[in-house]
Chain A
Amino acid sequence: MRQVLKLTTAIGMSLAVAGVAHAQNFNDPEEFARQQEQLSMTPQGPEGQPWAQYLVDKMADTAEYKKDGAATVCFSNAGVNNPWRVVGYTNMTEEVKLHPEIGNFVHVDAEGSDDKQIADIQDLLAGGNCDVLIVSPNTTAALTPAVEAACEKLPVIVFDRGVQTDCPVTFIHPVGGYGFGIQGAEFIVDNVEAGANVLMLRILPGVDVLETRYSAGRRILDEAGLTVVGAEFTDGDNAKTKSIVEDYLQRGSIDAVWMDAGATAVAAIEAFEDGGHDIPVFVGEDQQDFLQKWRALDMTAIAPTYPTYQWRTPIIAAVSILKGEAVPGPEWVLPQPAITAENLDDFINEKMPPLHYAMCGCEEMPDYPQAWGGKE
């Protein structure tokens, strides 16, 4: 019995140590500072097309991948399991239509499962038909070996979430989670009195791009001396979000609401409306329903974005790589603008669905707005 106990303790401890070794640092001051700087940089590349622009001027040579004739572009997708990914994936398929060089576009959906995505990538490689592979990883650590294996056979483009290897030709992403957290929190600090009460609402734990949003937001609010009355996970559930805000309102006043993902922002606003409270300073995201509510109630608000236009970029990169043209790499950092009171009207379109992400960079595409579920 004692031996069993010893053994279990040993296994437990080694697992814990391994866990610590692999734990990602979501509160990295250097990365925070770097992203804060990138937010204010002037991007390079074509004006008015942020999906083709880049902030870091370092190019990857792709001459070795040059290929003539119609290409097959393969895409291993983590999933199309939330509205952000639905809008993004539509951007991507519409971008494919703009490139006659792409003969065949193969999409495999991992449905939010690491195992399935690893198998998907193996199948794509075994099929031998792909000329270039685009990967949007489900989770960082789990997908790293699969991406490394793919790099040995063909050019790989990673985007959205990252992997722990620099073997892909380029890793496409906007500024990042710290940047998102910074934009919202700085707006709150600028618009409330000293010592104001801030409620932080988070969607889920453990996802790097969300954890960094929170750590950046929290750091700025704390440093400004504001009172964070709570930081709650809402699971992205409207009803739960509204209930949590109602409970906090019973306990005391709230001067600002910071969110790490805005899909439930309208439910949070309604908790104030229904209880007859003044609407406080709000951080949302670029969904239509939030933008419209913001204008209708004349709120003091900001919408940081994690732009869905980044889904267009991997296709543009794939086409460039197959032509042997240099692309920004090993990292292709896209600009990450926020929607503010000044440009709010430019992004509101009442004919689009409530959870359409306004920063899609898709307005000029041929099938807009029908392909995104909008009305003529």
Chain B
Amino acid sequence: MSDQTLPAGRQKRARGLPRINPVYFILAALIVAIILNNPNFVEPTGYMNFLKRAAPLAILAAGQVYVIVSGGFDLSVGSLITLVVVGSSMLSNNDPNSTWWVISVMLCIGLAVGLVNGMVVCFLKVPSLIATLGMMITLNGFAFMWSGGAPRGYLPDSFRFFGRVNLRDIPLVQMLPVAVIVMVVVGFALYWLMHRTNLGRMIHAIGDNPRAAQLAGVPVNRVRITAFVVSSLSAVITGILLGGFAGVSTDVGTGYELQAITAAVLGGAQLLGGRGSVPAAMAGALTLTAIFTLLNFLGLPQPVRQVVQGLILVAAVALAMARRKRTGQ
């Protein structure tokens, strides 16, 4: 269906409100609900803590969007996070001077994981769901082998700086968590790479129609591998923030792969590829975190929370789909 066949009035409507991604409305509604429940949320400590908590997932979702838009999934990110936290604690062993080389080692591990994921998908033709599932199990095994089941080291404060420290006495906002700065910087870089460069266009092209993209001269394999690398690197950064926020534990990354995919879908990414936006995926991550926070504030019993959480998620994605059908976006 092309735009020309639409009656003028309908076309006009389509250009109005529905052009704005519904995830932003959902997020706004949830934040209003949180404020009604807890007026302290409008204070900097309230919303800054919220942003700090959402930062790891937002970065992870922004990376996951690269793989989803290119037509795949990356299930290995959760166990990569665990490996980063456990591995960093084992390597650094509370030595403050180790932070930089440990972070470099972790980024190299991330790079290697992304390359392997991408190459298995491209050259061995293993569907990404299976390739990254295999990677997830392997990395979990590595984390357990490395730590013997219980973490054996501490993270030094210099490593935890990124995830834990709040800068104080900042004009306007009083406090500013370092994690929020990291989120903004990484988020902007990923936004720029996806929506302002040729790489981003090629990722969209191969997700939409890999055959057509190939015939048009897109180096499909190279682009796809790059998408997996971006996702793995974002997982490493997420791991560094999470380890910083809450310290060492052996199951820190559990469930994050699904949360990241959910966040991307909440932001309107299409699961079979070709569509998705970095800022909307990050808004999706904030929305998920807002749901968790709101349910904390409401103090509902655990089972009720899970029901509400599930229903909000399905409703939010249904809304995103309805909007796509109406606007063709």
Decide yes or no: A373 and B40 within 8 Å by CB, A238-B249, A354-B248 being known contacts: no
User: Is B151's CB under 8 angstroms from A355's CB?
Assistant: yes
- Of the listed stretches B19-27, B58-66, B71-79, B294-302, chain A binds B294-302
- Between B40, B41, B249, B293, the greatest number of chain A beta carbons within 10 A of the residue's beta carbon is seen for B249
Considering the chains assembled together, what is the distance between the CA atoms of A52 and B166 in angstroms? 49
User: Is A236's CB under 8 angstroms from B251's CB?
Assistant: yes
Considering the chains assembled together, what is the distance between the CA atoms of A239 and B38 in angstroms? 21
Partner of A275, one of B45, B242, B252, B302: B45
Bitwise, B245-280 to A at CB < 8 A (1) or not (0) is 111111110100000000000000000000000000
Residues of B within 8 A of A275 (CB): 45, 49
Decide yes or no: A250 and B247 within 8 Å by CB, A81-B149, A205-B302, A354-B153 being known contacts: no
Residue in A closest to B177 when the chains form the complex, CB atoms = A274
B204 within 8 A of partner (CB): no
User: Is B149's CB under 8 angstroms from A239's CB?
Assistant: no
Partner of B152, one of A243, A251, A373: A373
Bitwise, B275-308 to A at CB < 8 A (1) or not (0) is 0000000000000000011001101001000000
Considering the chains assembled together, what is the distance between the CA atoms of A230 and B302 in angstroms? 12
- Contact residues, A351-365 vs B (CB, 8 A): 353-356
B46 within 8 A of partner (CB): yes
Closest Cβ of chain B: how far from A270's Cβ, in Å?
7
User: Is B296's CB under 8 angstroms from A247's CB?
Assistant: yes
User: Is A87's CB under 8 angstroms from B49's CB?
Assistant: no
Interface residues on B, range: 20 to 34
Partner of B53, one of A238, A243, A266: A243
Considering the chains assembled together, what is the distance between the CA atoms of A266 and B247 in angstroms? 8
Considering the chains assembled together, what is the distance between the CA atoms of A270 and B52 in angstroms? 14
Bitwise, A247-265 to B at CB < 8 A (1) or not (0) is 1001100000000000110
Considering the chains assembled together, what is the distance between the CA atoms of A80 and B150 in angstroms? 10
Residues of B within 8 A of A263 (CB): 249
- Contact residues, B129-177 vs A (CB, 8 A): 148-154, 164, 166
- List 4 tightest A-B contacts by C-beta distance, closest first: A238-B246, A83-B150, A239-B246, A86-B149
Q: Which A residues have a C-beta under 8 Å from some C-beta of B?
A: 80-83, 85-87, 205, 230, 232-233, 236-239, 241-244, 246-247, 250-251, 263-264, 266-267, 270, 274-275, 289, 353-356, 373
Q: Which B residues have a C-beta under 8 Å from some C-beta of A?
A: 38, 40-41, 45-46, 49, 53, 148-154, 164, 166, 242, 245-252, 254, 292-293, 296-297, 299, 302
Apart from A82-B149, A239-B242, A267-B246, 19 more pairs, CB < 8 Å: A81-B149, A86-B150, A205-B302, A230-B299, A232-B296, A237-B251, A238-B246, A238-B252, A239-B252, A242-B246, A243-B292, A247-B293, A250-B46, A251-B38, A270-B164, A274-B164, A353-B151, A353-B152, A354-B154
Can you list 29 residue pairs at the A/B interface with Cβ under 8 Å? A80-B149, A82-B250, A83-B149, A83-B151, A83-B250, A87-B150, A236-B251, A238-B246, A238-B248, A239-B53, A239-B246, A242-B246, A243-B292, A243-B296, A244-B296, A246-B49, A247-B293, A250-B40, A250-B46, A250-B49, A263-B249, A270-B164, A270-B247, A274-B164, A274-B166, A353-B151, A354-B153, A354-B248, A356-B150
